Structure 1
Amino acid sequence: MIARLRGRPAGQAPDGLVLDVNGVGYLVAATPSVLRRADDAAEITVETYLHVREDALQLYGFADVDERELFTHLLTVNGVGPKVALAVVSGSSSAELRRAIVQGDHARFQAIPGIGKKTAERIVLELKEKIGEGVVPVEPSSSPGRAPHVVARDALVELGYSIAEAEQALAAVDPDLPAEERIRLALRTVAA
């Protein structure tokens, strides 16, 4: 198993990042955080996962061990392959995704291309116990049992925004604010 590579970014290909490690170019399908770090860097370290199939060996690259660990957990879910798992960990931080799993937020995963309702439900159901330990609890919201982020996102969806648009608008808002304030600021962001 190749768990980590340190080398010089030698270019980007449609399939990912080419990392030159002592004269050998490794093609790594990487998360956006790795690709950002590779821009103008003389050398980077990438946490990796080697996916072995009958017809191919594919390296996947992550900015940190948490991203890789979440990726490997996602691979255990029936119906989730490495490309879908990479799309999941590429969309949000590991902490946010873990929180969404613990809170049962299926809609967050349905917003990711390649994931339908049943797969999103399986992700939450199968990973809730595996990764629930160590996840920082979220403050109570005005709606019992629901996190302020979920309340705000659902309100934006009710107003006609897609889940992806709502998530993008809420990403620009302070996560420590109550749901009502998040909605107000997110609407300003979308209108701007």
Structure 2
Amino acid sequence: MIGRLRGILISKQPPSLMIEVGGVGYELDAPMSTIYDLPAVGKEVILLTHYAVKEDSVALYGFLHEAERTLFRNLQKVSGIGAKIALAVLSGVSVDHFARLVQAGDVVALTKIPGIGKKTAERIVVELRDRIDGLSTLSGTSMRGSDAPLDAAGEATVALQQLGYKPVEVSRLVQKVAADGDSAEAIIRKALRAALGS
């Protein structure tokens, strides 16, 4: 079991990261809430990890905060939710906001997250309401962008599609929110906020 990595951030192409630890490059997927707060490429980073083994694949997921990892794990205990949807949830809303939606039983708001339909949202409310307490005390996430890549809009478009948004919707969102000088992370953050109406 790999529970934590400390190493040099080699690349970040949302939602994928590579961290070099002792000469070995670990590939991870991470939610945008973590990617927003990562240092620049070439800097040291410490990530909490979730190691997932399936019949046909092995995957590693990275998180800056324990609350994110805990919610990621809890979400996958809900029938119909896998790692991809769990990452989309963490990318679309903060842990605190998600906890408030679940406590309030706000099924409509939950269905705005890619991959979550009405029935899944209802299951989330029923199955996670009792487990969501205390998550907000573990969180402490902030959001900040990093240096803008050469093609920030293109990088943001790819990342949003990987999170489950349809290409036509992604194109509309990116065109609506992107501004000159925005980093990919900034464009993704604004697009997610626009898509979720927050």
The bucket for the TM-score relative to the shorter chain is 0.5 to 0.7
* Structure-1 separation of matches of 2:27 and 2:120: 28
Map 1:117-128; keep pairs closer than 5 Å: 117-128=118-129
TM-score normalised to structure 2 length: 0.65
Partner of 1:111: 112
Alignment pair present for 1:58 and 2:62: no
**CA–CA separation in structure 2 for the residues paired with 1:15 and 1:130:** 26
Partner of 1:140: none
- The CA RMSD over aligned residues, in Å, is 2.3
**Residues 129, 6 of structure 1: CA spacing in aligned structure 2 closer, same or farther, 3 A cutoff?**
same
Question: Equivalent residue of 1:113, what SS?
Answer: coil
User: Where does residue 90 of structure 2 map in the other structure?
Assistant: 89
What is the letter of the counterpart of residue 53 of structure 2?
A: V
Q: Is 2:9–2:20's contact at 8 Å kept on the other side of the alignment?
A: yes
1:90 is displaced (CA, Å) by 1.4
> CA contact under 8 A between 1:101 and 1:128: conserved in structure 2?
yes
Q: Percent identity, aligned pairs only?
A: 42
Residue 35 of structure 2 aligns with an amino acid whose one-letter code is L
- Match of 2:50, SS state, is strand
AA matched with 2:96: A
> Which residue is 1:16 aligned to?
16
Give the partner amino acid of 1:21: V
Shift of 1:33: 3.2
The higher-RCO structure (CA 8 Å, 6+ apart) is 2
State the partner residue of 1:27: 27
Q: State the secondary structure of the residue aligned to 1:96.
A: helix
8 Å contact from structure 2 (residues 8, 21) kept in 1:
yes
Letter matched to residue 97 of structure 1: F
TM superposition shift of 1:166: 7.3
Question: What is the TM-score when the length of structure 1 is the normalising length?
Answer: 0.67
- Spell out structure 1 runs of 4+ moving beyond 4 A: 133-136
- Residue 3 of structure 2 is matched in structure 1 by 3
Would you say how many aligned residue pairs link Structure 1 and Structure 2? 143
Shift in Å at residue 165 of structure 1?
3.7
Q: CA deviation at 1:112?
A: 1.1
Q: Kindly name which structure, 1 or 2, has the bigger radius of gyration based on alpha carbons.
A: 1
**Which range is displaced more, 6-15 or 51-60?**
6-15
CA contact (8 A) 2:67 2:135 kept: no
User: Deviations 1:67-122 (Å, cap 9, x if unpaired)?
Assistant: 00011100100000011011111112111111111111112221111111111111
Any unmatched runs of 5+ in structure 1?
137-162, 171-192
After superposition, the Cα gap between the structure-2 partners of 1:38 and 1:31, relative to the gap in structure 1 and judged at 3 Å, is farther
Q: 1:166 to 1:35 in 2, by over 3 A?
A: closer
**CA deviation after TM superposition for structure 1 residue 11, in Å:** 1.2
